[in-house]
Amino acid sequence: MSLGFLHPLLLWGLAAAALPLLVHLFFRRRPRPTPFPALDFLFQARRENQRRLRLRKLLLFLARTFLLAAVALAIARPELLRPQEAAAAARGPAATAIVLDASASMTYRLGGRSLFERARQDALQALASLGNDEPATALVCGGGEAPRAEPAGFDKAAVRRVLEEAEPTALHADMSGCAAAAARALSESASASMLSQRLVLATDLTASAWRLDAAAPLVQTPRGAVRPEVTLLDAARGEPLPDLGVADLSVEPDPAAGPRGFRVTVAVANRGRAAAEDVPLQLRTGLAPAGPVALRAFVTVPPGGVVKKQLSLTLPAGGTTGLTVSLPGDALEYDDARALVVDVPREVRALLVDGAASPVKHRDAAFFAEAALASPASPVRPTVVDGESLSRTRFADHDVVLLLNVRSLGPKAEELRTFVEKGGGLFVAMGDQVDPDTYAEQLGGLLPRPLHVVKTAAEKGQPGAAERAARFATLDQAHPALSLFAGAAAEGITGARTYRYMLLRPARKGEGDQVLMAFDDGSPALVAARRGAGRVLLYTSTADREWSDWPIRTSFLPALQRFVSWLAGSLEERRTTSVPVGVPRALGAPEGKKVVAVVGPDGKERRPGSLAGAGPGGAAEVTPDRPGLWQVKVAEGGQERLDPSLAFAAVPDAREADTSRLEPSELTAWFGGQGHAHVAADAAPRSERPTPLWSLLLLAAVVLFLAEGLLLA
């Protein structure tokens, strides 16, 4: 027998019982001075009635206190649950499968307790209410495929253990699938075949957990498939679950804010019935759990709406970092923050070797390239040298070398080869100074393809030259260097006219190359290749206006910046840095490194024992079990360190962040109507009708009221 309340929050009204004490202590009426001659009689009367008066006062105080307490308790609608055996006997024995919802939405806190704790208590009560002749099983529903449940049996202790050891997860739960699994568990039970079948589901009734388009579960018995009696234990007790959460977070470069400027877009969803006014929003940077706050903002979200907020952010340094947007904590912490890993472009040091320096700027081979690379939003820091001062320059001091119409490198050729093989980038542009034979001799192994002869498509300045000039016809938009020009953006490149360009010989066997751009006659315009640890791009026309008008077109600026970034390795292939919670993520360790652990948002390390596939090869797979930033620890040269490049973000499951609840009638209809299913506010099954106590309390209040009147009289 236990006591429950339909409106436990209203128990705060019990504080009213302290009113008589407060009035007695703080609001006593000040006695009015009253001259009176027969004071001796008053003293005597008081002496004689002192004990009676004190008793009367005490009774009056108690009557008033209990009167208020009784009314407050009655409003909270207390109920006395009847003894289990009697209740079980009343409804008859049934094989029972209990499903406990352990999804992320169950971490919602209501009245100081999480819905999961309430649901588990409900489930345990439901288990305790079963008679000894009723077999039972339990299934914890939280994430992934619907788990299998043991066939219903009489080992109640084992079933209780399953429920007691359950923990809420950050994953999505498919309650429809779990109900079906529970029905299967009843079907497989030999002891349950001759009994009634019952499903007890302790859940929060969030709509996203149910697939009402699927078939309702049936239990297979020797008599055929039967609909089980379904009891839905509503952990939220019929109350709505308002929530304010970060629904989405995206980031894209913001050139206006500089080379490391980003535009962060935050979507905030309000799943409540009241507008959320001026909600503070914080943007933290860094991979550590509590990085510095970079931005603060406020959002106002209408009830049931989603508001997108754009924030402009400039990060101070290149490399991999994390962005975490957070809202003030509310009842559901699951979606109060959302993280993202972002690769911030490093600064690229580019050496522009000007092979045809000219005092007239627009005729200088390096003029347009330098202007393109030194623009405000560019991550590239260009340095220009001419052929004469090249001998005093060290390639190793730079990330990328651009040879612009250079006649010959002379003794620097060998240094350039070493530079590239060690990871440097090389961009080669043609011009009148370029001699294919000299290049073949000095840079033969570095170039993607050997140079052949110069082809003139049209003489610049001649009538009709613009029409006869070559155009870029094909672009490999999948390549990172050209991904910017996908779709309509390609027109910025295809509109350029090239009057003269270098034809190339076929590549030698074994030297992989990739044509990224080609002219309309099929001749390569831009060819990429890897040499050693470095990368090479060969552009078959000029980087000034001598052979082509591309340098004066708007697409030249971003294209050249992307080329140099790719050559420097800062423009990696687009990698997925976010993964939903519960979805496995492969951790490919760089060469020479081995993944030894992952560090979750909670700061705890998951060592190889819990990392699937963390073998000697260095690759591992991890399934993030909570949203937030995850870092990867690698072993390199005997040292263990966090590798930022492997960091990733786990994002909350949008289905679990949606706390919209189903109408109970929809769910009971799905289970077969009210004849088969009902929603109970607490764990007491329907046949276990609770005895309402509020009427008794109101009666007690009336009696106390009368008693108070009698005492006053």
Partner 1 sequence: MTATPLLSPELVARLATLKLRARAVAEGVLTGLHRSPHHGQSIEFAEHKEYAPGDEVRHIDWKAWGKTDKYYVKRYEQETNLRAWMVVDASGSMGYRGPGAALSKLEYGSTLAAALAYLLVRQQDAAGLVAVGPGVVRSVAPRAAASHLGALVDTLEALRPEGATRLSAAVDHVVEVAPRRAQVLFFTDLFDADPEILRRVAQLRRRKHEVTLFHLLDPAELDFPFEDPALFLSLEDDRQLEAHGREVKKGYLEVLGRWLETVRRQAAEADLDYVLCRTDRPLDEVLLPFLARRERRAA
CB-CB contact of 220 with 185 (8 Å) = no
Looking at 434-544, which runs of residues are DSSP E strands?
A: 451-456, 470-475, 497-498, 500-504, 513-519, 524-531, 534-539
Cβ proximity to partner 1: between 46 and 505 the closer is 46
Answer for which of 25, 38, 157, 290 binds partner 1 (CB under 8 A) is 38
Bridge partners of residue 633, in order along the sequence: 597, 642
Identify whether the C-beta of residue 293 lies closer than 8 Å to the C-beta of residue 284: yes
By CB under 8 A, name the one of 33, 112, 316, 487 that touches partner 1.
33
Contact predicate 108/102, CB 8 Å: no
d(CA 594, CA 616): 7
Smallest separation, CB 705 to partner 1 (Å): 19
The smaller minimum CB distance to partner 1, of residues 54 and 607, is found at 54
Q: Report how far residue 540's alpha carbon sits from residue 472's, in angstroms, rounded to the nearest whole number.
A: 12
* Crossing angle of the two packed helices 39-75 and 694-712, in degrees rounded to 10: 170
Binding-residue pattern over the window 168 to 187 for partner 1, x denoting contact by CB under 8 A: --------------------
Which residue number, 12 or 41, has a Cβ lying nearer to partner 1? 41
With H, G, I as helix, E, B as strand and everything else as coil, classify residue 688: coil
Q: Which of 39, 157, 274, 360 binds partner 1 (CB under 8 A)?
A: 39
Q: Which of residues 378-437 bind partner 1 (CB under 8 A)?
A: none
Task: Name the phi and psi angles at 75, rounded to 5.
Answer: -65, -30
To partner 1, the closest distance from the beta carbon of 18 in angstroms equals 22
Applying CB under 8 A, which of residues 18, 43, 158, 306 lies at the interface with partner 1? 43
Among 3, 7, 44, 480, binds partner 1 (CB under 8 A): 44
Nearest CA-CA partner of 504 in 530, 531, 522: 522
Nearer to partner 1, 58 or 586 (CB): 58
Closer to partner 1 by Cβ: residue 329 or 709: 709
Q: Which of these ranges, 30-38, 176-184, 405-413, 431-439, lies near partner 1 under the rule CB under 8 A? A: 30-38
Least distance from partner 1 to the Cβ atom of residue 32, Å: 5
Phi, psi (5° rounding) for residue 495?
-80, -10
Helix or strand (DSSP H, E) at 702: helix 694-712
- Within 47-86, the residues that bind partner 1 by CB under 8 A are 48-49, 53, 56
Query: Would you tell me the crossing angle of helices 19-26 and 39-75 to the nearest 10 degrees?
Result: 150
The CB-of-46 to partner 1 minimum distance in angstroms stands at 6
Q: Per CB under 8 A, which of residues 467..506 are in contact with partner 1? A: none
Residues near 352 by beta carbon (within 8 Å), at least 6 away in sequence: 366, 369, 370, 373, 382, 383, 384, 385, 402, 404
Which range touches partner 1 (CB under 8 A), out of 41-49, 70-78, 305-313, 374-382? 41-49
Candidate segments 27-35, 177-185, 497-505, 596-604, binder of partner 1 by CB under 8 A:
27-35
- Closest contact distance (angstroms) between CB of 49 and partner 1 is 4
- Residue 44 phi, psi (nearest 5): -65, -40
Report helix, strand or coil for 7: coil
Among 25, 26, 35, 157, binds partner 1 (CB under 8 A): 35
Binding partner 1 by CB under 8 A: which of 45, 190, 275, 710?
A: 45
How far CA 149 is from CA of 136, 145, 193, 200, 203, in Å, comes to 11, 12, 16, 14, 17
Distances (CA, A) of 491 to 220, 495, 520, 537: 64, 6, 14, 22
Q: Which of 15, 22, 23, 42 binds partner 1 (CB under 8 A)?
A: 42
Our finding on whether 25 is near partner 1 (CB under 8 A) is: no
Report the residue from 25, 26, 27, 37 that binds partner 1 according to the rule CB under 8 A.
Answer: 37
Nearer to partner 1, 31 or 522 (CB): 31
Name residue 300's amino acid: T
Of the two residues 33 and 222, which places its CB atom closer to partner 1 in the complex? 33
Does position 161 bind partner 1 by CB under 8 A? no
> Shortest approach of partner 1 to residue 336 CB, angstroms?
56
Distance of closest approach, residue 43 Cβ to partner 1, in angstroms: 6
> In this structure, how many other beta carbons lie within 10 angstroms of the beta carbon of residue 666?
12
Instruction: Pick the piece of the chain touching partner 1 (CB under 8 A) from 22-30, 419-427, 558-566, 575-583.
Output: 22-30
**Residue whose tokens read 């979805």:** 583
> Which SS3 state, helix, strand or coil, does residue 222 take?
coil
Among the residues of 132-172, which ranges form H helices? 156-164
Q: Rounded to the nearest 5°, which phi and psi values hold at 270? A: -115, 110
CA 40 to chain CA mean position, Å: 84
Please, is 514 exposed, middle or buried when counting C-beta atoms within 10 Å of its C-beta (0-12, 13-18, 19+)? middle
**Tokens 């997925």, located at residue:** 576
Shortest gap between Cβ of 31 and partner 1 (angstroms)?
4
What order do you get walking across the sheet with 497-498 strand by strand?
380-386, 348-354, 400-404, 425-429, 534-539, 524-531, 513-519, 470-475, 497-498
Given 27, 40, 273, 604, the residue binding partner 1 (CB under 8 A): 40
What is the closest distance, in whole angstroms, from the C-beta atom of residue 659 to partner 1 in the complex?
56
Our finding on whether 27 is near partner 1 (CB under 8 A) is: no
Q: Which stretch binds partner 1 (CB under 8 A): 38-46, 200-208, 456-464, 513-521?
A: 38-46
Interaction between residue 21 and partner 1 (CB under 8 A): no
Q: Which of 333, 335, 321 is nearest to 629 (CA)?
A: 321
Check residue 583 for interaction with partner 1 (CB under 8 A).
no
Least distance (Å) between residue 701 CB and partner 1: 24
Q: Which is nearer to partner 1, 38 or 453 (CB)?
A: 38
- Count of residues that bind partner 1 according to CB under 8 A: 23
Q: Which stretch binds partner 1 (CB under 8 A): 23-31, 67-75, 352-360, 445-453?
A: 23-31
The least distance separating partner 1 from the CB of residue 38, rounded to whole angstroms, comes to: 5
Helix (H, G, I), strand (E, B) or coil at 68: helix
Which range in 35-43, 276-284, 327-335, 477-485 contacts partner 1 by CB under 8 A?
Answer: 35-43
| Binding interface with partner 1 (CB under 8 A) | 28-46, 48-49, 53, 56
